[in-house]
Chain A
Amino acid sequence: MAHEHEPGEEHEAGPRHELSHWAKRAYAMRDILIEKGVVTEADIRQQAEFTESKTPANGARLVALSWTDPEFKARFMADPKKVCAEMGIDASTLNEFVILENTDKLRHMVVCTLCSCYPRPILGRPPDWYKSFNYRKRAVNDPRGVMREFGLDLPDDVEVRVHDSTADMRYLVIPARPPGTGNLSVEELEKLVTRDSMIGVMDALAAVPE
């Protein structure tokens, strides 16, 4: 079928590079949805801006508070969406939110083998590797191999528990609090909580010695 213009042309500023098949399809669908009045360009931009505004900082704050305040942690694990709302973190677009806590003997690691389900309101956009076929395949059948590539070599007596988020649940890992951080403030602790540690593929960062 002949097209008079490239899909998406009227709605994208800037130079148009060669698009993959899937990108072309996505632009074509966007154009059709706008043409048919299902959504407006403003809706799409607003949603993109909303998504871009979310960063792992939200998750890092929740983890740092969980490290320092056992009562907070208990409430957060029992009703994470309520606690997010209290803190002004909009988690309303998450269907269900489940918190997993790492211990000495149990390590959680999150994947979505079907697509790229991820707690976006809390952690922002997932990293590209999270969406890659390589991670999605190997996270379930070789989780220890994946963790080793992130620099984590776990002893055999630790249970590695992979969570495949195939349905309505979105998972967040509370990594173990790094040793030697007893006198750090919540703000200082937040800086140690990386996105990847909340996916569960690595530890929180070690405290930087004074």
Chain B
Amino acid sequence: MSSAAVFRDGAAVRVKAHFQPGHVRTPFYIKGKTGWVERCYGEFRNPESLGHSGDGLPRVRLYLVGFRQQDVWDGYDAGSKDTVFVDIFEHWLEPAAGAGT
């Protein structure tokens, strides 16, 4: 399962700035932001299907993705170590050129 994950722990990833109608679990504020994979949680039924009476299959990989708050919000204290961690499904992620941890 997680051994076949597309993104390894620590990999820099960007959340796709993609807008699709219907039920999605990727919050607006994190779209287009760059962070890193903290770990892969495994595979879960896809809520974008479950939310519309589907069976949620095939299952999709879910990652815990970390972001520096200063990379997410304009004006967040630049010296801050603060982070926000979001659970994001694999098809919402793409490789990025590097994010600080």
- Interface positions of A (Cβ within 8 A of B): 95-96, 113-114, 140-141, 143-144, 156-169
Are B83 and A159 in touch, CB under 8 angstroms? yes
0/1 per residue, B69-101, Cβ < 8 Å to A? 100110011011111111111000000000000
Q: In the complex, what residues of A have CB within 8 A of residue B69's CB?
A: 160, 162
B27 within 8 A of A: yes
Known A161-B84, A164-B86, A165-B87: A114·B44 in contact at CB below 8 Å: no
- The size of the chain B interface, using a CB distance under 8 A, is 27
Chain A neighbourhood of B49, CB < 8 A: none
* Chain A residues whose CB sits within 8 angstroms of the CB of B89 once the complex forms: 167
CB atoms of A156 and B79 under 8 A apart: yes
Contact between B85 and A161, CB atoms less than 8 A apart? yes
Q: Is there an interface contact between B82 and A161, defined as CB atoms closer than 8 Å?
A: yes
Is the Cβ of A163 less than 8 Å from the Cβ of B85? yes
Q: Which residues of A contact B85 (CB under 8 A)?
A: 161-164
Question: How many pairs of A and B residues are in contact by the CB < 8 Å rule?
Answer: 67
Which listed residue, B82, B84, B87, touches A168 by the CB 8 Å rule?
B87
In the bound complex, how far is the Cα of B85 from the Cα of A114, in angstroms? 14
In the complex, A167→B85 CA distance in Å? 12
Query: Interface on chain A toward B: helix, strand, loop, or mixed SS?
Result: mixed
CA distance A157 to B88 in the complex (A): 28
- Whether A167 contacts B76 in the complex (CB less than 8 A), given A143-B82, A161-B85, comes out as no
Q: Interface digits, B49-80 against A, CB 8 Å rule (1 contact, 0 not)?
A: 00000000000001010100100110011011
15 examples of A-B residue contacts, CB within 8 angstroms: A113-B29, A140-B72, A140-B84, A141-B76, A162-B69, A162-B82, A162-B85, A163-B85, A164-B30, A166-B25, A166-B26, A166-B87, A167-B89, A168-B41, A169-B87
Which of A114, A158, A164, A169 has the most CB atoms of chain B within a 10 A radius of its CB? A164
Select A167's contact among B44, B72, B79, beta carbons within 8 Å: B44
